[in-house]
Amino acid sequence: MTTTRRSLLFGAGAFAGLAAANSAWADAPALVHGVVVSPASAGARVTLALSQQAQARTFFLSAPDRFVIDIAQSRLALPPGASEGPGAGFVQRYRYAQQADGVSRVVLDLMVPARLVRQDLGGRRAPELSFDLAPTAPVAAAPVRQEFRPSGRQRTIVVDAGHGGRDPGAIGATGTREKDVVLDAALQLRRALESRGYRVALTRNDDTFVPLEDRVRFARSHNADLFISIHADSHANPEAQGASVYTLSERGADRAQNMAQNWNIDFGDTPRQGVTRDILLDLYQRETTNRSSQFAQTLIPCLSQVSPLLRNTHRNAGFFVLLAPDVPAVLIETGFLSNVTDERRLSDPRARQAMAEAMAQAVEAYFAPPQLQASA
Protein backbone atom coordinates (compact mmCIF):
# COMPACT_ATOMS: atom_id res chain seq x y z
CA MET A 1 0.00 0.00 0.00
CA THR A 2 1.37 3.42 -0.93
CA THR A 3 0.14 6.61 0.72
CA THR A 4 1.00 9.96 -0.86
CA ARG A 5 1.17 12.87 1.57
CA ARG A 6 -0.78 15.77 0.11
CA SER A 7 -1.80 17.80 3.12
CA LEU A 8 -0.94 17.61 6.80
CA LEU A 9 -4.05 18.65 8.71
CA PHE A 10 -3.18 17.69 12.27
CA GLY A 11 -0.28 19.60 13.80
CA ALA A 12 3.15 18.34 12.92
CA GLY A 13 2.24 14.70 13.38
CA ALA A 14 4.40 14.34 16.49
CA PHE A 15 4.92 10.92 17.98
CA ALA A 16 2.71 10.13 20.95
CA GLY A 17 4.99 8.95 23.73
CA LEU A 18 3.94 5.46 24.71
CA ALA A 19 7.31 3.96 25.55
CA ALA A 20 8.70 3.60 29.03
CA ALA A 21 11.28 6.12 30.19
CA ASN A 22 14.12 3.77 29.35
CA SER A 23 14.72 2.09 25.99
CA ALA A 24 13.91 -1.46 27.08
CA TRP A 25 10.79 -1.38 24.86
CA ALA A 26 13.03 -1.35 21.78
CA ASP A 27 14.51 -4.78 22.47
CA ALA A 28 11.59 -6.52 20.76
CA PRO A 29 8.97 -5.11 18.37
CA ALA A 30 5.46 -4.50 19.60
CA LEU A 31 2.94 -6.75 17.88
CA VAL A 32 -0.25 -5.25 16.45
CA HIS A 33 -2.82 -7.95 17.25
CA GLY A 34 -6.03 -6.32 16.11
CA VAL A 35 -7.81 -3.22 14.82
CA VAL A 36 -11.45 -2.30 15.34
CA VAL A 37 -13.39 0.79 14.22
CA SER A 38 -16.56 1.53 16.16
CA PRO A 39 -19.05 4.40 16.52
CA ALA A 40 -18.24 7.03 19.18
CA SER A 41 -20.00 10.12 20.48
CA ALA A 42 -17.69 12.36 18.46
CA GLY A 43 -18.05 10.30 15.28
CA ALA A 44 -15.78 7.24 15.18
CA ARG A 45 -13.20 5.49 17.34
CA VAL A 46 -10.30 3.31 16.22
CA THR A 47 -8.67 0.96 18.73
CA LEU A 48 -5.48 -1.02 18.16
CA ALA A 49 -4.46 -3.88 20.45
CA LEU A 50 -0.69 -4.14 21.02
CA SER A 51 1.47 -6.69 22.80
CA GLN A 52 3.43 -3.91 24.53
CA GLN A 53 3.80 -0.16 24.61
CA ALA A 54 5.07 1.53 21.45
CA GLN A 55 5.41 4.99 19.93
CA ALA A 56 2.73 6.14 17.52
CA ARG A 57 2.62 9.05 15.11
CA THR A 58 -0.71 10.24 13.71
CA PHE A 59 -1.55 12.64 10.91
CA PHE A 60 -4.26 13.44 8.40
CA LEU A 61 -4.09 13.41 4.61
CA SER A 62 -6.50 14.93 2.11
CA ALA A 63 -7.71 14.26 -1.44
CA PRO A 64 -8.86 11.67 -0.47
CA ASP A 65 -9.33 12.17 3.27
CA ARG A 66 -7.44 9.73 5.48
CA PHE A 67 -6.21 9.35 9.05
CA VAL A 68 -2.84 7.63 9.36
CA ILE A 69 -1.36 5.86 12.38
CA ASP A 70 2.32 4.88 12.19
CA ILE A 71 3.52 2.62 15.00
CA ALA A 72 7.30 2.54 15.41
CA GLN A 73 9.27 -0.58 16.31
CA SER A 74 6.30 -2.83 15.62
CA ARG A 75 5.16 -5.73 13.53
CA LEU A 76 1.70 -6.60 12.19
CA ALA A 77 0.37 -9.83 13.69
CA LEU A 78 -2.87 -9.77 11.70
CA PRO A 79 -4.37 -12.50 9.49
CA PRO A 80 -2.23 -13.25 6.41
CA GLY A 81 -3.80 -12.62 3.04
CA ALA A 82 -5.89 -9.69 4.26
CA SER A 83 -5.06 -5.99 4.18
CA GLU A 84 -8.22 -4.17 5.26
CA GLY A 85 -11.26 -4.26 7.51
CA PRO A 86 -14.68 -2.59 7.98
CA GLY A 87 -15.22 0.98 9.14
CA ALA A 88 -18.00 2.62 11.15
CA GLY A 89 -19.68 6.02 11.16
CA PHE A 90 -17.94 8.28 8.66
CA VAL A 91 -14.96 5.89 8.42
CA GLN A 92 -15.40 3.81 5.28
CA ARG A 93 -12.77 1.19 6.10
CA TYR A 94 -9.26 0.74 7.47
CA ARG A 95 -6.20 -0.60 5.67
CA TYR A 96 -2.88 -1.78 7.01
CA ALA A 97 0.61 -2.63 5.76
CA GLN A 98 4.12 -3.13 7.07
CA GLN A 99 6.43 -0.23 6.25
CA ALA A 100 10.20 0.08 6.19
CA ASP A 101 12.24 0.49 9.38
CA GLY A 102 9.85 -1.57 11.49
CA VAL A 103 6.86 0.78 11.15
CA SER A 104 3.33 -0.65 11.04
CA ARG A 105 0.90 1.65 9.23
CA VAL A 106 -2.89 1.72 9.68
CA VAL A 107 -4.88 4.05 7.40
CA LEU A 108 -8.52 5.01 7.92
CA ASP A 109 -10.35 6.07 4.75
CA LEU A 110 -12.72 8.91 5.67
CA MET A 111 -15.83 10.21 3.93
CA VAL A 112 -15.08 13.82 4.94
CA PRO A 113 -12.23 15.76 6.60
CA ALA A 114 -11.90 15.18 10.33
CA ARG A 115 -10.03 16.19 13.46
CA LEU A 116 -8.61 14.23 16.37
CA VAL A 117 -10.62 14.92 19.54
CA ARG A 118 -9.36 12.20 21.89
CA GLN A 119 -6.46 9.82 22.21
CA ASP A 120 -5.78 7.11 24.78
CA LEU A 121 -2.18 5.96 24.81
CA GLY A 122 -2.69 2.98 27.08
CA GLY A 123 -0.18 1.67 29.59
CA ARG A 124 1.95 -1.32 30.42
CA ARG A 125 -0.95 -3.56 31.47
CA ALA A 126 -3.27 -2.43 28.67
CA PRO A 127 -1.06 -1.11 25.85
CA GLU A 128 -3.81 -0.49 23.31
CA LEU A 129 -4.02 2.70 21.27
CA SER A 130 -7.37 4.46 20.91
CA PHE A 131 -8.27 7.57 18.89
CA ASP A 132 -11.60 9.39 18.52
CA LEU A 133 -12.25 11.32 15.31
CA ALA A 134 -14.90 13.95 14.62
CA PRO A 135 -15.94 15.12 11.14
CA THR A 136 -15.26 18.77 10.30
CA ALA A 137 -17.75 18.81 7.42
CA PRO A 138 -21.28 17.45 6.95
CA VAL A 139 -21.36 13.76 6.15
CA ALA A 140 -23.45 13.12 3.07
CA ALA A 141 -25.90 10.27 3.33
CA ALA A 142 -24.17 7.17 2.05
CA PRO A 143 -26.03 4.24 0.58
CA VAL A 144 -25.50 1.15 2.67
CA ARG A 145 -24.79 -2.19 1.07
CA GLN A 146 -27.04 -4.60 2.91
CA GLU A 147 -25.32 -7.87 3.66
CA PHE A 148 -27.13 -10.92 2.31
CA ARG A 149 -28.76 -13.04 4.99
CA PRO A 150 -30.21 -16.39 3.88
CA SER A 151 -34.02 -16.40 4.09
CA GLY A 152 -33.89 -13.10 5.96
CA ARG A 153 -33.17 -14.95 9.22
CA GLN A 154 -31.47 -13.51 12.27
CA ARG A 155 -27.79 -14.06 12.76
CA THR A 156 -27.29 -17.14 14.89
CA ILE A 157 -24.44 -17.21 17.40
CA VAL A 158 -23.63 -20.46 19.18
CA VAL A 159 -21.93 -19.87 22.53
CA ASP A 160 -20.03 -22.79 24.01
CA ALA A 161 -19.16 -22.86 27.71
CA GLY A 162 -16.16 -25.19 27.99
CA HIS A 163 -16.09 -28.36 30.12
CA GLY A 164 -19.00 -29.10 32.50
CA GLY A 165 -20.38 -31.98 34.53
CA ARG A 166 -17.68 -34.50 35.41
CA ASP A 167 -15.07 -32.33 33.65
CA PRO A 168 -14.28 -29.28 35.83
CA GLY A 169 -11.53 -27.94 33.55
CA ALA A 170 -8.84 -25.82 35.17
CA ILE A 171 -9.01 -25.25 38.92
CA GLY A 172 -7.61 -22.08 40.48
CA ALA A 173 -5.41 -21.66 43.53
CA THR A 174 -8.43 -20.88 45.71
CA GLY A 175 -10.63 -23.55 44.14
CA THR A 176 -12.31 -21.56 41.35
CA ARG A 177 -13.48 -24.04 38.70
CA GLU A 178 -13.25 -23.23 35.02
CA LYS A 179 -16.57 -24.89 34.19
CA ASP A 180 -18.40 -22.54 36.59
CA VAL A 181 -16.93 -19.18 35.55
CA VAL A 182 -17.17 -19.89 31.80
CA LEU A 183 -20.81 -20.99 32.14
CA ASP A 184 -21.67 -17.68 33.80
CA ALA A 185 -19.68 -15.82 31.11
CA ALA A 186 -21.64 -17.70 28.42
CA LEU A 187 -24.97 -16.80 30.04
CA GLN A 188 -23.86 -13.16 30.28
CA LEU A 189 -22.84 -13.20 26.61
CA ARG A 190 -26.21 -14.67 25.61
CA ARG A 191 -28.00 -11.80 27.36
CA ALA A 192 -25.70 -9.22 25.77
CA LEU A 193 -26.20 -10.66 22.28
CA GLU A 194 -29.97 -11.15 22.57
CA SER A 195 -30.32 -7.53 23.66
CA ARG A 196 -28.66 -6.65 20.33
CA GLY A 197 -31.11 -8.74 18.31
CA TYR A 198 -29.10 -11.91 17.73
CA ARG A 199 -30.42 -15.44 18.06
CA VAL A 200 -28.22 -17.27 20.57
CA ALA A 201 -27.95 -20.99 21.26
CA LEU A 202 -25.87 -22.43 24.11
CA THR A 203 -24.16 -25.80 23.87
CA ARG A 204 -24.88 -26.09 27.62
CA ASN A 205 -26.84 -23.85 29.98
CA ASP A 206 -26.18 -25.82 33.16
CA ASP A 207 -23.52 -28.04 34.72
CA THR A 208 -23.71 -30.72 32.04
CA PHE A 209 -20.92 -32.64 30.32
CA VAL A 210 -21.11 -32.25 26.52
CA PRO A 211 -18.69 -34.23 24.29
CA LEU A 212 -16.62 -32.14 21.88
CA GLU A 213 -18.18 -33.81 18.84
CA ASP A 214 -21.66 -32.87 20.06
CA ARG A 215 -20.64 -29.22 20.50
CA VAL A 216 -19.53 -28.99 16.87
CA ARG A 217 -22.56 -30.95 15.67
CA PHE A 218 -24.81 -28.57 17.64
CA ALA A 219 -23.29 -25.49 15.98
CA ARG A 220 -23.65 -26.96 12.49
CA SER A 221 -27.22 -28.14 13.11
CA HIS A 222 -28.16 -24.58 14.09
CA ASN A 223 -26.56 -23.16 10.91
CA ALA A 224 -24.46 -20.96 13.16
CA ASP A 225 -23.02 -17.78 11.67
CA LEU A 226 -20.40 -17.75 14.42
CA PHE A 227 -19.23 -20.16 17.13
CA ILE A 228 -17.66 -18.76 20.32
CA SER A 229 -16.13 -21.21 22.77
CA ILE A 230 -15.31 -19.72 26.20
CA HIS A 231 -12.58 -21.18 28.43
CA ALA A 232 -10.15 -20.29 31.21
CA ASP A 233 -6.53 -21.41 31.10
CA SER A 234 -3.97 -22.80 33.53
CA HIS A 235 -0.17 -22.92 33.42
CA ALA A 236 2.69 -24.24 35.52
CA ASN A 237 4.09 -20.71 35.56
CA PRO A 238 1.89 -18.73 37.99
CA GLU A 239 3.03 -15.48 36.33
CA ALA A 240 1.24 -16.36 33.05
CA GLN A 241 -1.65 -13.92 32.75
CA GLY A 242 -4.14 -12.49 30.29
CA ALA A 243 -6.75 -13.41 27.71
CA SER A 244 -6.02 -14.95 24.32
CA VAL A 245 -8.00 -15.93 21.22
CA TYR A 246 -7.46 -19.10 19.19
CA THR A 247 -8.43 -19.83 15.60
CA LEU A 248 -7.77 -22.96 13.56
CA SER A 249 -4.16 -23.84 12.76
CA GLU A 250 -2.94 -25.35 9.49
CA ARG A 251 -2.53 -28.73 11.16
CA GLY A 252 -6.07 -28.42 12.44
CA ALA A 253 -7.28 -27.66 8.92
CA ASP A 254 -5.54 -30.83 7.71
CA ARG A 255 -7.28 -32.73 10.49
CA ALA A 256 -10.63 -31.30 9.38
CA GLN A 257 -9.89 -32.35 5.78
CA ASN A 258 -9.27 -35.90 6.99
CA MET A 259 -12.67 -35.86 8.69
CA ALA A 260 -14.45 -34.74 5.51
CA GLN A 261 -16.87 -37.65 5.58
CA ASN A 262 -18.25 -36.34 8.90
CA TRP A 263 -19.19 -32.91 7.63
CA ASN A 264 -21.92 -33.72 5.09
CA ILE A 265 -21.61 -30.45 3.17
CA ASP A 266 -23.84 -30.01 0.14
CA PHE A 267 -21.76 -29.24 -2.96
CA GLY A 268 -24.62 -29.80 -5.38
CA ASP A 269 -23.91 -32.38 -8.09
CA THR A 270 -20.29 -32.87 -7.03
CA PRO A 271 -19.58 -36.54 -6.19
CA ARG A 272 -19.26 -37.30 -2.49
CA GLN A 273 -15.75 -38.65 -3.10
CA GLY A 274 -12.98 -37.49 -5.40
CA VAL A 275 -10.51 -34.73 -6.22
CA THR A 276 -13.13 -32.09 -7.10
CA ARG A 277 -14.88 -32.45 -3.76
CA ASP A 278 -11.54 -32.30 -1.94
CA ILE A 279 -10.70 -29.02 -3.72
CA LEU A 280 -14.09 -27.52 -2.94
CA LEU A 281 -13.81 -28.56 0.71
CA ASP A 282 -10.34 -27.02 0.92
CA LEU A 283 -11.64 -23.71 -0.47
CA TYR A 284 -14.60 -23.83 1.91
CA GLN A 285 -12.29 -24.45 4.86
CA ARG A 286 -9.96 -21.62 3.88
CA GLU A 287 -12.82 -19.14 3.61
CA THR A 288 -14.15 -20.18 7.02
CA THR A 289 -10.68 -19.92 8.57
CA ASN A 290 -10.23 -16.43 7.10
CA ARG A 291 -13.57 -15.33 8.53
CA SER A 292 -12.62 -16.77 11.92
CA SER A 293 -9.37 -14.78 11.83
CA GLN A 294 -11.25 -11.62 10.88
CA PHE A 295 -13.50 -12.02 13.90
CA ALA A 296 -10.48 -12.67 16.14
CA GLN A 297 -8.90 -9.49 14.79
CA THR A 298 -12.07 -7.57 15.67
CA LEU A 299 -12.41 -9.23 19.07
CA ILE A 300 -8.92 -8.66 20.48
CA PRO A 301 -9.08 -4.82 20.68
CA CYS A 302 -12.47 -5.10 22.40
CA LEU A 303 -11.10 -7.54 24.98
CA SER A 304 -8.08 -5.32 25.55
CA GLN A 305 -10.39 -2.63 26.95
CA VAL A 306 -11.60 -4.86 29.81
CA SER A 307 -8.86 -7.44 30.36
CA PRO A 308 -5.08 -7.86 30.23
CA LEU A 309 -3.98 -9.80 27.15
CA LEU A 310 -1.52 -12.64 26.87
CA ARG A 311 1.49 -11.89 24.70
CA ASN A 312 0.89 -13.02 21.09
CA THR A 313 -2.82 -12.81 21.79
CA HIS A 314 -4.05 -14.28 18.48
CA ARG A 315 -2.99 -17.92 18.50
CA ASN A 316 -3.62 -20.97 16.34
CA ALA A 317 -4.45 -24.51 17.42
CA GLY A 318 -6.21 -27.63 16.24
CA PHE A 319 -8.87 -27.68 18.97
CA PHE A 320 -11.77 -29.94 18.02
CA VAL A 321 -14.38 -27.20 18.50
CA LEU A 322 -12.67 -25.14 15.76
CA LEU A 323 -12.74 -27.87 13.11
CA ALA A 324 -16.13 -27.35 11.41
CA PRO A 325 -15.38 -26.24 7.83
CA ASP A 326 -18.56 -24.18 7.48
CA VAL A 327 -18.81 -22.33 10.84
CA PRO A 328 -16.37 -19.49 11.66
CA ALA A 329 -15.14 -20.24 15.16
CA VAL A 330 -12.91 -18.87 17.90
CA LEU A 331 -11.89 -20.23 21.28
CA ILE A 332 -11.40 -17.53 23.92
CA GLU A 333 -9.16 -18.17 26.90
CA THR A 334 -10.47 -15.51 29.29
CA GLY A 335 -7.42 -15.70 31.57
CA PHE A 336 -5.34 -18.01 33.76
CA LEU A 337 -6.92 -19.48 36.88
CA SER A 338 -3.37 -20.42 37.90
CA ASN A 339 -2.61 -16.68 38.20
CA VAL A 340 -3.87 -15.06 41.41
CA THR A 341 -4.82 -11.78 39.70
CA ASP A 342 -6.62 -13.47 36.81
CA GLU A 343 -8.42 -15.86 39.16
CA ARG A 344 -9.66 -12.92 41.23
CA ARG A 345 -10.82 -11.14 38.07
CA LEU A 346 -12.60 -14.19 36.62
CA SER A 347 -14.30 -14.83 39.97
CA ASP A 348 -15.85 -11.36 39.84
CA PRO A 349 -19.31 -11.38 38.14
CA ARG A 350 -18.82 -7.74 37.11
CA ALA A 351 -15.57 -8.57 35.32
CA ARG A 352 -17.25 -11.49 33.52
CA GLN A 353 -20.08 -9.19 32.47
CA ALA A 354 -17.57 -6.65 31.14
CA MET A 355 -15.89 -9.39 29.08
CA ALA A 356 -19.27 -10.55 27.77
CA GLU A 357 -20.11 -6.99 26.71
CA ALA A 358 -16.73 -6.72 24.95
CA MET A 359 -17.40 -9.97 23.08
CA ALA A 360 -20.87 -8.76 22.07
CA GLN A 361 -19.41 -5.46 20.87
CA ALA A 362 -16.97 -7.41 18.70
CA VAL A 363 -19.79 -9.53 17.24
CA GLU A 364 -21.71 -6.36 16.38
CA ALA A 365 -18.65 -4.80 14.71
CA TYR A 366 -17.91 -8.03 12.80
CA PHE A 367 -21.41 -8.25 11.31
CA ALA A 368 -21.84 -4.51 10.70
CA PRO A 369 -22.71 -4.01 7.02
CA PRO A 370 -19.98 -2.18 5.06
CA GLN A 371 -20.76 1.32 3.84
CA LEU A 372 -20.18 2.57 0.34
CA GLN A 373 -18.40 5.86 -0.21
CA ALA A 374 -20.64 8.93 -0.27
CA SER A 375 -20.74 10.68 -3.59
CA ALA A 376 -19.02 14.08 -3.87
Q: What is the mean pLDDT of residues 124-141?
A: 82
- Ranges of each domain in the chain: 15-135, 150-367
pLDDT at 35: 85
> What are the pLDDT digits (tens) for 44-70?
989 888 888 899 999 999 999 999 999
The one-letter amino acid code at 247 reads T
Residue predicted with more confidence, 137 or 19: 137
- The whole-angstrom separation of Cα 174 and Cα 177 is 9
Residue predicted with more confidence, 179 or 290: 179
Domain 150-367 fold is Aminopeptidase (3.40.630)
Residues in Cβ contact with 289 at an 8 Å cutoff, skipping those fewer than 6 apart: 247, 248, 253
pLDDT at 265: 62
Task: Answer yes or no: is pLDDT of 371 > 50.
Answer: no
pLDDT at 180: 97
Name the class of domain 15-135.
mainly beta
- The whole-angstrom separation of Cα 62 and Cα 82 is 25
Query: Sign of torsion, CA 105 106 109 115?
Result: negative
Q: Which residues pair with 61 in a beta bridge?
A: 66
Please count the other Cβ atoms lying within 10 Å of the Cβ belonging to residue 2: 4
Question: What three-state secondary structure class fits 176?
Answer: coil
pLDDT at 313: 93
